[in-house]
Chain A
């Protein structure tokens, strides 16, 4: 039936139009400029010369033997809605181009319409596996503009939460990486142990994720009365759990075969592409903002910066495992020395009156109402504040105009920068290794697209 064929043709055309990314997609070599090609081949960092001199690539083989395929955005191994366009020569990846933006919800624009109090609920949804890091970074940035002194107990609670969150985030990384490479037990173990930490978060803040617990001025509520036994249980049981993962993976010949020597990057490439966190440390550079540019009193805690040597998938895995052990060490120290006192600043401009006062005092009610409707004014200025999230440097660049809402908030998302490393990591490797490489960069698409 010719009519039906025609209709099918139209439907196929419409489908193509729907999935077309226009200028953002990967095109054939003949339509791609040599500079662009250099980036897609991952050579921009390694062979800067070609980029600078604008020379064509000598090793570009015949287009006919390769094909461009899509991986994602709906693919279980891309950890969210990440679309990779890969040019393959048989099973070898010749070049790769990540296409992102599928989860873009304009959170930076939204931030301009929210008060500084509401801002925490906004940023916590970006990197949804490490909400505490997002909140901590937001709080520190706003406090820097406010010039606010934070009580020691609040700071210690923040460190406790951030480190527990680091463990839970690395657990998801390990779990999903395990599943991507066929170690299904790791998936189950990782999520099982993560739940213990999330239960503790729920006890403290009421929510498992997107806690909105760390706020400018301190934290939302004091720790629950029996927090010490909960944290002590985590500190006691987790080292054994981590031993279990290592037994399962580190010495596993299949795991080693799949990860050692795969997706290597050098320190120079990390610098060139702005890669931070476990990727940079696995390459051999001991750069950790908790040590190198300390905040929240991290300089008073005793812990090591874990580094690798080869910068491959295996080293990144080892760095994460090591960081979990170090985080437990920090949590133990917080447990030993948690100071007494306020859990939030007593600055009346920022902190609302306690709930009990609202029943007794009209002024307290008005004060409370004002803070949550109008918000507090933050002095005009611009500030950039960076902390070490489980994925690398997360930072907020905040411009205030002196009103109760930010003029501009830019979030330096570690996953966004780290995804640029995919090209040098994947180029020349096998398609099956691409899965291992994605998992090892640990991207969170909420963080990438914001």
Chain B
């Protein structure tokens, strides 16, 4: 078996092995959620508009905890984003009771992307959403206080976007004179 075949096999197995049957059945019922498993890890792709509703369903299904959330910028990505949008919000959930893990890829598009906030579902999303806003300028509607978290408050631009150059701007400090 060649390596790529082995990987394909591995991916196929993931669909069956990544999640216990109960959770797999719940995922199958969620409309608009497409299984796009990779490397044996359970992944679903959804549209930003559906996220708030899907989040509630996932929480009820047993994913108690949101452990990670981040943005990704696919501008200039050769193969193109799998979801066809410039940005993605990637959420990682765990279910301690099932011992399972699920990744949710949410496609968000445009120069000023918008995504619903899930702070009301998993309060821990608060800082992760602030970070994604800070780094990518993704606006989370319904977030209690969407402000920058890692960069200074008067910073302009969103540093992890692909059109934000590395090292092109001298280090800014809060209150220091701006480069002209």
Contact = CB atoms under 8 A, between A and B. Distances in A.
A420 B70 CA distance: 16
Contact of A39 (B78, B145, B153, B173): B145
A159 interface: no
Interface in A23-46: 23-24, 33, 35-36, 38-39, 44-45
A39 B154 CA distance: 23
Contact of A401 (B38, B77, B122, B153): B77
A18 B73 CA distance: 32
A128 interface: no
Nearest to A99: B149
B6 A147 contact: yes
A206 to B, nearest CB: 29
A16 B73 CA distance: 36
Interface string B25-58: 0000000000000110100000000000000000
Contacts of A272: 64-65, 122-124
B179 interface: no
Contacts of A145: 39
Most buried by A among B6, B150, B173: B150
Interface in B98-146: 99, 101, 103, 119-120, 122-124, 126-128, 135, 144-145
Interface string A6-22: 00000000100111111
Contacts, number: 158
Contact of B153 (A24, A112, A285, A386): A24
Contacts of B64: 271-272
B144 A36 contact: yes
Interface string A133-171: 000000000001101000000000000000000000000
Contacts of A18: 173-175
Nearest to B79: A380
Contacts of A402: 78-79
A393 B66 CA distance: 12
Interface residues of B, number: 49
Contacts of B66: 274
Interface residues of A, number: 65
B145 A397 contact: no
A292 interface: yes
A224 interface: no
Contact of A276 (B67, B90, B145): B67
A407 B6 contact: no
Interface stretch (A177-185, A317-325, A326-334, A410-418): A410-418
Interface stretch (A100-108, A246-254, A364-372): A100-108
Interface string A263-297: 00000001111111000000001010000110000
Contacts of B99: 292-293
Given A33-B145, A109-B160, A382-B38, A48 B70 contact: no
A154 B7 CA distance: 23
A401 B144 CA distance: 35
B85 interface: no
Interface of B: 3, 6-7, 10, 38-39, 41, 64-68, 70, 72-73, 77-79, 90, 92, 96, 99, 101, 103, 119-120, 122-124, 126-128, 135, 144-145, 147-154, 159-160, 166, 173-175
Interface of A: 14, 17-24, 33, 35-36, 38-39, 44-45, 48, 51-52, 100-101, 104, 106, 108-110, 112-113, 144-145, 147, 270-276, 285, 287, 292-293, 379-384, 386, 393, 395, 397, 399, 401-402, 407-408, 410, 412, 416-417, 419-420, 449-450
7 contacts: A22-B174, A48-B120, A52-B120, A272-B64, A386-B67, A402-B79, A419-B127
